């Protein structure tokens, strides 16, 4: 790989998150050589449910939604991924979900066989992949709890707090970017759009969040938001 490409990898938003953080700068080129970089337009599907699971994807910029198509023609959103997230790791021989960019996405695509060769040289990558897979299981368990035991306001609060941690916001008062549509968020949380709007209005009245005209959200009271999200119904 060229020196320019390697320097670009070191400056990547996902450099110190997820898989890439497993290697030191001196060894990063081994992983970078196995990466196939792609730009995905908003609305473009880059993982299709049922297709052979030949690749893994590391999100370097932007966000995407994961969803499954139900037998009756409906679609269920099962999660959202952002910078540093690894997509497709838990798949068997075929993808169990689809992934669609909800804003412009930059990603690295790794062929399973090529990545296996790199991990054979650097066992730390195998360990990191195991950590990522374990984290995905925790997220799945949290989603079951979210839908099965929490009230509407607890679901929204849990999601906002989780997305805040994911984006690593340094300023508690900084606007929280939610790239997903309000309808997608409602579907993921098992709520209606109207209910999500009412919950946000309630959180605003309590002084927990502020909602700007462009729908960007600022978390004003992290402790209170976390307390609401952790409360069981």
Q: Where are the domains of the chain?
A: 3-133, 150-230
- Three-state DSSP at 20 gives helix
pTM value > 0.95: no
In the chain, how long is the greatest CA-to-CA distance? 55
Q: pLDDT of 5-59, one tens digit each? A: 656 676 677 666 777 777 777 777 777 788 889 999 999 999 999 999 999 899 9
Picking from 102, 173, 186, the residue whose alpha carbon sits closest to that of residue 147 is 186
pLDDT, one tens digit per residue, over 154-201 is 999 989 988 887 776 555 556 788 889 899 999 999 899 999 999 999
CB 229 within 8 A of CB 154: yes
| pLDDT at 184 (0 to 100) | 93
Q: Which CATH number fits domain 3-133: 3.20.20.60, 3.40.50.620, 2.60.120.10, 3.40.50.920?
A: 2.60.120.10
The Cα 89–Cα 95 span in angstroms is 9
Is 3.30.2080.10 the CATH classification of the domain at 150-230?
no
Cβ–Cβ under 8 Å, residues 216 and 177: yes
| Closest to 88 (Cα-Cα) out of 51, 116, 63, 118 | 51
pLDDT tens-digit map of 71-81: 888 888 988 99
């Amino acid at each position: 790989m060229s020196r320019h490409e390697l320097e670009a990898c070191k400056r990547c938003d996902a450099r110190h998150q997820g898989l890439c953080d497993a290697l030191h700068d001196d060894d990063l080129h081994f992983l970078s050589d196995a990466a196939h970089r792609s730009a995905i337009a908003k609305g473009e599907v880059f993982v299709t449910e049922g297709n052979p699971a030949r690749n893994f994807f590391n999100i370097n910029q932007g966000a995407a939604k994961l969803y499954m198509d139900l037998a009756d023609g409906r679609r269920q959103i099962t999660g959202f991924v952002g910078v540093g997230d690894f997509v497709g790791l838990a798949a068997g021989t075929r993808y169990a979900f689809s992934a669609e960019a909800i804003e412009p996405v930059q990603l690295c695509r790794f062929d399973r066989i090529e990545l296996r060769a790199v991990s054979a040289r650097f066992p730390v990558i195998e360990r990191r992949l195991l950590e990522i897979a374990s984290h995905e299981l925790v997220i799945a368990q949290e989603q079951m709890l979210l839908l099965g035991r929490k009230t509407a306001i607890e679901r929204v609060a849990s999601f906002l707090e989780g997305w805040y941690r994911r984006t690593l916001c340094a300023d508690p008062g900084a606007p929280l970017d939610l790239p997903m549509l309000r309808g997608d968020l409602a579907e993921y949380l098992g709520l209606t759009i109207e209910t999500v709007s009412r919950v946000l209005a309630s959180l605003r009245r309590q002084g927990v969040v502020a909602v700007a005209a462009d729908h960007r959200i600022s978390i004003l009271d992290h402790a209170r938001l976390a307390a609401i999200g952790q409360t069981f119904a």
